Structure 1
Amino acid sequence: MKHATESYDIVVCGGGLAGFAAAVAAARMGHRVCLVQDRPVLGGNSSSEVRVVPRGSTTYHAYAREGGVLAELMAGERLRNHEPIFENGWANSVWDLALYDIAQRTDNLTLLLNTAVRDVAVVDGAITSVTGWTVSAEKETELRGRVFLDCTGDGVVAALAGCEFRVGEEARAEFDEPHAPLEASEHTMGNSLHFKTKDVGHPVEFELPDWAVEYTDPAFFYEQGRRPHDVRGGFWWIELGAPWHTIHDAEELRHELTRHTLGVWDWMKNKDPHTREATRTLALDWLGQVPGKRESRRIVGLHLLTEHDLFRTAPFPDEIAYGGWNIDLHTVGGLLAGSSEPTAAEGYDPHATAAVAGYVGPFGIPLRSLIAKDVTNLLMAGRNVSATHVALGSVRVQSTTAIMGQAAGTAAAVALDRGIGVQDVPSSAIADVQQQLLKDGCFLPHVVNTDEDDLARAATVTASSDAPYLGASPGDRWVDGGLEEKVRPGADFLTALRGQWIPVETGPEAPGLASVRVLLRNHTGAEVAIPARLQRAAHIWDYRVETGAVLAKATLRVPPGEHWVDWDVAVDRGALGDPGPGGRYLRLDLAATPDVEWVRAGRVLPGAVSAFEMTPGRMRRFGDGVTMSHRVQPAQRAYPAASVVSGVARPHAATNLWRSDPGHPFDQWVELAWDVPRHVGSVHVTFAGHLLREYDRTPPLWADPQTSRDYTVRALVDGAWRDVVTVRGNGRQRRVHELAEPVTTSRLRLVVHATNGDPSAAVYEIRCY
């Protein structure tokens, strides 16, 4: 046995997406970081060992894709991975390599793989070291540090350090949480095991081992929410928990899950009349032996996140991340229970009881929920954060835990930079954390860029052109590059109130909005009257049916058949208000009219999506992010050049996007100009793309068509334009360019020569330092 002692500024324990993002973020801020992972690969539940597709807010909310390190990872993985994504079971080693590649290219970051933490030293209320055991090397390593992060999932570091933690369900009376049971229990959500199949091109048989579980009852699958919808593999509902303990009975659970998983495949292959033919030429290609875990210990922090925080409208002053996954509380017992997770058991009906009650977000997450209360230098991220069982049902998904991880790593680095304890960061240095997160490509719903070092904020911005907003029609072509959309038959019928967000220009030059047209298809034999309303929306996730700012009302008359229906709304500039140079959103609502379709457009206009009334008074995103057919007059300057310095790098209160006129040929450019020359050493650019839909909608070897493929950054130096950055073949949304030689300039121009397919150049943000 070998012993070693190593010292770091920050020690991150756990190499899932939360720990990975934390370690990379802190190392990039210049601190010596050690990332300790007990598996041979990074990624935790998302790795090729477990294969759970990362999910987050974009499953339910348009333009809510998580940013930062996670976005960088996802974009890079899709550019190089040939494997199609499907729900659970898809991941291969290219995903593992994408994580490993970022880690290897990150200065100041040391990896310790195959190393499990088995001891923690605490002196005077602070952790001084953790001890890891690397079984493959028979090596014990004492890792000393100044700040520690517990991203182990099971809260191993915090538990060994003596921190208070919670396990199981809180009683409803403790926090008055509607989703909590009446009685407290030690029950947690269970573990899942996944599998993957391969089409071998000829019939192949499968024989169920005699030690496996045999399934014979169709009701178990089709009446209890366990429908085998994708024969390629999966499924999240192959889950077991109680009566087993998800930590202490982990190996027994692994064996039991293997028995049940083979039984599910036997049912699909040999017994199920719905899947037997579809699986005829499929062979079992991979069966996981590392279950994915949903819940175990939750460490008590400075703030315990509860169900009420998921519906909170007032921002947390220490907001450092956001969530938007539903309150996803799996049924205790999993496969042993009478039904699966409630929304699945309801058939994923968005109007059903569980779906309505569990629909949340996007909501802010406070830093205090990532800081342990019982030791002075410990943060946590992942499914072991300070949350009740109910709140964990939403924040436990991997994309959410990844951005919490980046926030925790950033907060640890800020604490060291400022010479303060991590428990003092929420009150003394939260602005530093928030601004660093924005600078590093994260998004915070209630925080904008106020970075005093960002030279772009003081610039006047102009562009070669900007795209007019006129609306969209069914015949419009969308260059989506294969971005998947799941369309439910008959979805366009107005079975519930439907709203369409319309970005409009504001300010002294705004033309107002004279008229709108909508394309409707009346399937009755008589004229139909549809109440319509135009009102202001605070932002793209303003799901209130009544926003309190109605600008126009009318009744639209629709003859039988398909017709463009005109409405003279006559909204003048003054009624729009003046929230800033980036414009604002109006929402056009049509009342429920079940025999009429509002025909969807052939493309999604950037930042212009729709929603439907899921329950009285509250709306939900329609489809996977859809633009309904509509036209506006006059044209709106909804994508102005000034958007690149709006302080927000995605659609929110406005589109926050510069988009060139698609009718103008490349090259297209956007320019920053200063009254006096500025010394510029780095340029940060955030292009459009990667935000509208969930990660699993993207095809293999994919670059978002909206991202700029070929571009140049030019600076005016001594009266002549000089190329300071030249990029060809880009497929990433966010690029940080450190100039080979800093320049002193009064004008800086980003010139887009080509995109990955979209006819417009499009940029959310430019920063200069």
Structure 2
Amino acid sequence: MLIQNFQEKIRDNKTIITNTDFVIVGGGTAGVCAAITAARKGTKTVLIQDRPVLGGNASSEVRLWILGATSHMGNNNRWAREGGVMDEILVENMYRNKEGNAVIFDTILLEKVMLEKNITLLLNTSVYDITKTSDTKIESVKAFCSQNSTEYKIKAPIFCDASGDGIVAFKAGASFRMGAETREEFGELFAPDKAYGELLGHSMYFYSKRENTPVKYTPPAFALKDITEIPRYKAIDKDDKGCRFWWFEYGGRGDTIYDTEEIKQELWKVIYGVWDYIKNSGEFDDVENHTLEWVGTIPGKRESRRFEGLYMMKQQDVLNQCQFDDAIAHGGWAIDLHPADGIYSELSGCTQWHSKGIYQIPYRSFVSKDIDNLLLAGRIISATHVAFGSTRVMATTGLCGQAVGMAAAVCNEKNILPAQILEENRINYLQNELNKIGQSIPNIPIEKTSNLLNKATISSSSELQLSKIPFNGEWMPLSTASAQLLPLSANKKYTFKVNVKAEENTAITAQLRTSEKTNNYTPEVILETQEITLSEGEQYITISFDVVLPKEQYAFITFLVNDKVSILTSEERYSGVLSVFNGVNKAVSNNGKQTPPDGIGVDTFEFWIPHRRPEGKNIAMEIIPALSSFNITNLGNGYVRPGIGANAWVADINDSKPSIKVEWDTEQTISEIKLFLDTDYDHPMESTLYGHPESVIPFCIQKYIIKDLDGTVLASTEDNHQTINTIKFKDSITTKGFTIEVAHPSKEVPAAIFEILCS
């Protein structure tokens, strides 16, 4: 029993003082990915989160799906999903939670963090102050946990602010901006004016469900009374829920930090007014049994402070796909700005302009220009309001967060400050360490000298020579222009034979298209056009293109719209090969073609996008000469996803026992083997609500055995679903080689491996 008598002095809470290597404030996707990455490199990390769950806007408290460069598969960014830890989390979530339950996603994030022995996690703990050792150096952060009534003082040589509003950077005195830059400051032609507004607002959502009996609803007194105050009220659908109501947004005219509670109350007013409208207006059928299941209690914030780093990203960097020597990540979401009046605006809920491909993000945008030992992560990084419209989304912030986590580990390893990574070629070291965990920095491969595989002789039981995509699928009407995206070799003339069916005598137009930039997948360059006359009925046609590509590149074998014609598809799928369509995806402002107004610095181009599985089957065809982009030399080229070529070894589907053999002339000491497998980087894997057609990506090798050359089993699995498989030996092994025996994922999908990394 504890009894304490009255005392005149103010009592102190329990206080814990901790010294560590790295402190991260903020447990959203950026903070989580930073913490896991740093911890796996041996860096003792404290992750402080002011909420009871991890994930920030992706958590069950807000329930926004995670998206990034894949953009709901609605843009031209092929194979662009974020890699590394961000990918690992999304793949795991799809495996366990393909339906998109936000509560289950909470547990996946929590498990990932708790499995790391080098992470100390503090939930429900709010950082409120800092101490400094000098004007430009943080000594510690101070935090308080209301659940255990404990104060914390945590000291470290390196700090990361991933808190969303930038509490650490703000208290430390770092330079920041809030609102939109003028057109003149950075030459950004898309910079908004005062009428549109300078800040994006907050959003809150609701979930509903159907009961077995009627449910009445009486709204609270504060609910919105007149639904016509919401100009887009006719867009309300009784069956929509969660972040499909992303446009329930408010607050951009106020202070999105200090006015947050008032903004929340206004959003509650909207939500309960909308539900009253759905239930009681008489405008909706079959809602008698509908009830509210969940309403958000904290708003999802889009924008507040942005802190100045050593470089500030701008509109031109995104849309022109600028190259940076210090690139450490990529983005690909549209520049996505919203009117400040949000749900009360007469304007569209958002204005989105896409680039023709993904863009690089430089390390300097994560290094505070004022505070020597502070890294920035999440939505507060150094970017203008316009560039922030793209970099702010959660898969991008997660990818960037792991770059920050790796940078902290490098600082810890080398006893340096973040800016010093830009000296003495250390940025190349950081880039390579990131790529070895799957970062896939655009145009920067894993260094060949860091992979022992490149000293070996590699052979395989077979290699795919793609001469035929079998004619065994369904008929696909050419009601939408369609294309087969294929990795073609340089200086070769190609012939394609396809099976079509015409309802009457007509003609079909075929085109060979490519992108201006070899790394892009926007088919704006029409190399050759042919028109083929068709007779009524089913027939094979042959298209022989005279134009050749000057260098290896993906090309589009394109068939334009003809409602009287269908083309045969195939049941077989291959890594690095897919069909695309000049289709519409209104979720990302894609109406088939981007047609911006003059004078805003945005390109006009068509969208050619895949369909989600189980749709989106390849176009059946014969290919002469056969495609040879799938050979064994890809396994050490440093790329772990398709790019200019397929970048994968793919076995022949008729090879009943696909295998790879690695042999060195002399014995090598190996501590680790990494396999980079295909979990379809084109699939966006939205974390919440959206739902997915399968738990395991159909291209992913699930079964394999690794043996040394004497036949001793080194590792095996029968139920893999992850992208990167790391076989870490407790004690390093000495060997002259090994074999990998794999099983095809299915009878329609041959086995594929992008990279084997030996170290």
Into which bin does the TM-score normalised by the smaller protein fall? 0.7 to 0.9
Which of residues 515, 537, 542 in structure 2 aligns to 1:566? 542
CA shift for structure 1 position 235? 1.4
SS of the residue corresponding to residue 292 of structure 1 reads coil
Residue 506 of structure 2 corresponds to residue 527 of structure 1: yes
Equivalent runs, 1:237-386 vs 2, <5 Å: 237-271=247-281, 273=283, 275-277=284-286, 279-342=287-350, 357-359=353-355, 361-386=357-382
- Pair 359,453 (structure 1): closer, same or farther in 2 beyond 3 Å: closer
The one-character-per-residue Cα deviations of 1:335-377 (angstroms, maximum 9, x if unpaired) are: 12113424xxxxxxxxxxx55x444531010011111101111
- The equivalent residue for 1:557 is 533
The one-character-per-residue Cα deviations of 1:40-81 (angstroms, maximum 9, x if unpaired) are: 111111111111110111123221111111111122222223
- Pair 567,369 (structure 1): closer, same or farther in 2 beyond 3 Å: same
Equivalent runs, 1:55-454 vs 2, <5 Å: 55-59=67-71, 60=75, 61-81=77-97, 84-85=99-100, 90-92=101-103, 94-124=104-134, 125-183=136-194, 187-217=198-228, 220-221=231-232, 230=240, 234-271=244-281, 273=283, 275-277=284-286, 279-342=287-350, 357-359=353-355, 361-428=357-424, 429-454=426-451
Matches of 1:637 and 1:205 in 2, distance apart?
A: 64
Report if the CA contact (8 A) 1:377-1:422 is conserved.
yes
Report if the CA contact (8 A) 1:148-1:378 is conserved.
yes
CA shift for structure 1 position 710? 2.2
- Pair 45,360 (structure 1): closer, same or farther in 2 beyond 3 Å: farther
- The equivalent residue for 1:502 is 486
- The equivalent residue for 1:346 is none
- Pair 534,441 (structure 1): closer, same or farther in 2 beyond 3 Å: closer
- The equivalent residue for 1:6 is 18
Amino acid at match of 1:399: A
Q: Which runs of 5+ in 1 are unaligned?
A: 343-353, 479-489
Amino acid at match of 2:699: Q
- Pair 389,226 (structure 1): closer, same or farther in 2 beyond 3 Å: farther
Matches of 1:533 and 1:701 in 2, distance apart?
A: 33
CA shift for structure 1 position 301? 0.7
Structure 1 stretch 532-541 or stretch 260-269: which is displaced more?
A: 532-541
Amino acid at match of 2:118: N
Report if the CA contact (8 A) 2:478-2:563 is conserved.
no
The one-character-per-residue Cα deviations of 1:504-546 (angstroms, maximum 9, x if unpaired) are: 3569xxxx454112455656x5533626335587546242512
- The equivalent residue for 1:745 is 735
Matches of 1:52 and 1:175 in 2, distance apart?
A: 31
Amino acid at match of 1:556: I
Report if the CA contact (8 A) 1:196-1:233 is conserved.
no
Equivalent runs, 1:660-679 vs 2, <5 Å: 660-665=651-656, 667-679=657-669
Amino acid at match of 1:706: F
Structure 1 stretch 58-67 or stretch 14-23: which is displaced more?
A: 58-67
Report if the CA contact (8 A) 1:118-1:132 is conserved.
yes
CA shift for structure 1 position 203? 3.9
- The equivalent residue for 1:684 is 674
Structure 1 stretch 99-108 or stretch 398-407: which is displaced more?
A: 99-108
CA shift for structure 1 position 601? 5.0
Amino acid at match of 2:479: F
CA shift for structure 1 position 104? 1.4
- Pair 467,141 (structure 1): closer, same or farther in 2 beyond 3 Å: same
CA shift for structure 1 position 595? 6.5
Report if the CA contact (8 A) 1:708-1:762 is conserved.
yes
Structure 1 stretch 305-314 or stretch 231-240: which is displaced more?
A: 231-240
Amino acid at match of 2:467: L
- Pair 651,754 (structure 1): closer, same or farther in 2 beyond 3 Å: closer
- The equivalent residue for 1:606 is 575
The one-character-per-residue Cα deviations of 1:643-684 (angstroms, maximum 9, x if unpaired) are: 22221001111111122222232x321222222222222110
Report if the CA contact (8 A) 1:715-1:743 is conserved.
no
SS of the residue corresponding to residue 138 of structure 2 reads strand
Amino acid at match of 2:82: E
Which of residues 648, 665, 672 in structure 2 aligns to 1:657? 648
Residue 525 of structure 2 corresponds to residue 546 of structure 1: yes
- The equivalent residue for 1:460 is 457
Report if the CA contact (8 A) 1:545-1:618 is conserved.
yes
The one-character-per-residue Cα deviations of 1:591-611 (angstroms, maximum 9, x if unpaired) are: 666776666655654322335
SS of the residue corresponding to residue 49 of structure 1 reads coil
Identity of aligned residues (%): 29
Amino acid at match of 1:703: V
- Pair 213,475 (structure 1): closer, same or farther in 2 beyond 3 Å: farther
Report if the CA contact (8 A) 1:492-1:600 is conserved.
no
Amino acid at match of 1:502: L
- Pair 687,314 (structure 1): closer, same or farther in 2 beyond 3 Å: same
CA shift for structure 1 position 437? 0.9
The one-character-per-residue Cα deviations of 1:307-360 (angstroms, maximum 9, x if unpaired) are: 111023442111111111111111212112113424xxxxxxxxxxx55x4445
Residue 719 of structure 2 corresponds to residue 729 of structure 1: yes
Report if the CA contact (8 A) 1:169-1:184 is conserved.
no
Report if the CA contact (8 A) 1:169-1:185 is conserved.
no
Matches of 2:692 and 2:282 in 1, distance apart?
A: 29
Report if the CA contact (8 A) 1:13-1:37 is conserved.
yes
Matches of 1:764 and 1:272 in 2, distance apart?
A: 56
- Pair 558,419 (structure 1): closer, same or farther in 2 beyond 3 Å: farther
Q: Which runs of 5+ in 2 are unaligned?
A: 1-12, 583-591, 596-603
Which of residues 54, 57, 65 in structure 2 aligns to 1:53? 65
SS of the residue corresponding to residue 378 of structure 2 reads coil
- The equivalent residue for 1:635 is 626
The one-character-per-residue Cα deviations of 1:558-582 (angstroms, maximum 9, x if unpaired) are: 44555442112367xxx55676xxx
Matches of 2:477 and 2:174 in 1, distance apart?
A: 50
Q: TM-score, normalised by structure 2?
A: 0.87
The one-character-per-residue Cα deviations of 1:63-112 (angstroms, maximum 9, x if unpaired) are: 1111111111122222223x613xxxx411x2111111111111311111
SS of the residue corresponding to residue 70 of structure 2 reads helix
Amino acid at match of 2:608: R
SS of the residue corresponding to residue 328 of structure 1 reads strand
- Pair 756,154 (structure 1): closer, same or farther in 2 beyond 3 Å: farther
- The equivalent residue for 1:703 is 696
- Pair 261,491 (structure 1): closer, same or farther in 2 beyond 3 Å: farther
Report if the CA contact (8 A) 2:472-2:620 is conserved.
no
- Pair 42,740 (structure 1): closer, same or farther in 2 beyond 3 Å: same
The number of equivalent residue pairs is 716
Report if the CA contact (8 A) 2:328-2:363 is conserved.
yes
- Pair 41,660 (structure 1): closer, same or farther in 2 beyond 3 Å: same
Report if the CA contact (8 A) 1:228-1:235 is conserved.
no
Matches of 1:615 and 1:254 in 2, distance apart?
A: 34
Q: TM-score, normalised by structure 1?
A: 0.86
Report if the CA contact (8 A) 2:575-2:650 is conserved.
no
The one-character-per-residue Cα deviations of 1:130-160 (angstroms, maximum 9, x if unpaired) are: 1111111222111111111000010111111
Amino acid at match of 2:305: R
SS of the residue corresponding to residue 669 of structure 2 reads strand
CA shift for structure 1 position 725? 0.7
SS of the residue corresponding to residue 48 of structure 1 reads coil
User: What root-mean-square deviation, in Å, do the aligned CA atoms of Structure 1 and Structure 2 show?
Assistant: 3.0
- Pair 239,433 (structure 1): closer, same or farther in 2 beyond 3 Å: same
CA shift for structure 1 position 199? 3.1
SS of the residue corresponding to residue 432 of structure 1 reads helix
SS of the residue corresponding to residue 21 of structure 1 reads helix
Matches of 2:229 and 2:188 in 1, distance apart?
A: 35
Matches of 2:414 and 2:157 in 1, distance apart?
A: 13
CA shift for structure 1 position 216? 4.1
Amino acid at match of 2:455: A
